[in-house]
Amino acid sequence: MGRHGTIAGRKAAQDSKRAAMFTKYAKAITVAAKDGGDPEYNAGLRVAIEKAKAISMPNDNIQRAIKKGTGELGGAAYEELTFEGYGVGGVAVIVDCLTDNNNRTAAAVRSTFDKYGGNLGTPGCVSYMFSRKGVFVIEKTDEIDEDELMEAMLEAGADDMVTEEDCFTIYSEPDVYTEVYQALQEAGYEFVESDIEKVPSMESAPKNEHDIKKLKKMIEVLEDNDDVQKVHTNCSIDLYEE
């Protein structure tokens, strides 16, 4: 996950990559729909659709992705791949992918690591530094009472809440992610981001500005790849700050 910076920075990054995000979210919906095309009975699909709607993905795109997943429409069969390694400065990096061509994706990820001074490692080489958590980011506003939010998130089944400069970050176990998402949404809270993330237990960072720029560029290139769903790092500095 790494540090994703301010709310404004998050929103700017989302806006600048909206078209690419449509492609990634469509893949996620297609994969989720394999377990059933009715979001009322498929919690994973319901959450994937909600996230797609949050970035204004057209309903036609959503329905087409669902039909690909259920087999009503022809389409590629996506496979989950995960790559682990290090960026410059010893920063741990995990790259989660959905792809219809393993060789293409592996070559692209390896090339990106190599080009920007990273090292692609073996499975498990950095994942021990991360724990899977449901992560919910809610923007701070005058309307939100911190104590009420704390009570609501605990009742929903979440474990912890961190109050940051411009947001509240809530953490849950991954197996209750959907329940927490629905409960907080029904309570009237809106998410800037929500997902199951790989949260680092220890952090690292490059020592100089040159390496910071290389790491930022590597993450940017990886995230721009249509096969890459998410990039997690244990970097202690904001990699999305201009």
Q: Encode 121-145: b = buried (16+ Cβ within 10 Å), e = exposed.
A: beeeebbebbeebbbbbbbeeeeee
Residue 153, in any domain of the structure: yes
What range does the domain containing 143 cover? Answer: 129-200
Residue 192, in any domain of the structure: yes
Q: Which residues of the chain have pLDDT under 50?
A: 1-2
State the pLDDT at residue 223. 93
Residue 75, in any domain of the structure: no
State the pLDDT at residue 165. 86
Residue 221, in any domain of the structure: no
Residue 173, in any domain of the structure: yes
Among 25, 49, 70, identify where a domain stops: 70
Look up the CATH number of the domain holding residue 177. 3.30.70.980
Sequence-separated (6 or more) residues with CB below 8 Å from residue 11? 192
pLDDT digits (tens, 9 = 90+) for 72-128: 988 778 889 999 999 999 999 999 999 999 999 999 999 999 999 999 999 999 999
Residue 36, in any domain of the structure: yes
Residue 78, in any domain of the structure: no
Look up the CATH number of the domain holding residue 14. 1.10.10.200
pTM, two decimals, is 0.85
Among 20, 46, 70, identify where a domain stops: 70
Among 25, 43, 70, identify where a domain stops: 70
Residue 168, in any domain of the structure: yes
- Total domain count, the chain: 2
State the pLDDT at residue 1. 45
The string of DSSP codes covering 131-188 is: EEEEEEEEE--TT--HHHHHHHHHHHT--EEEE-SSEEEEEE-GGGHHHHHHHHHHTT
Tokens 């692209």 identify what position?
Answer: 108
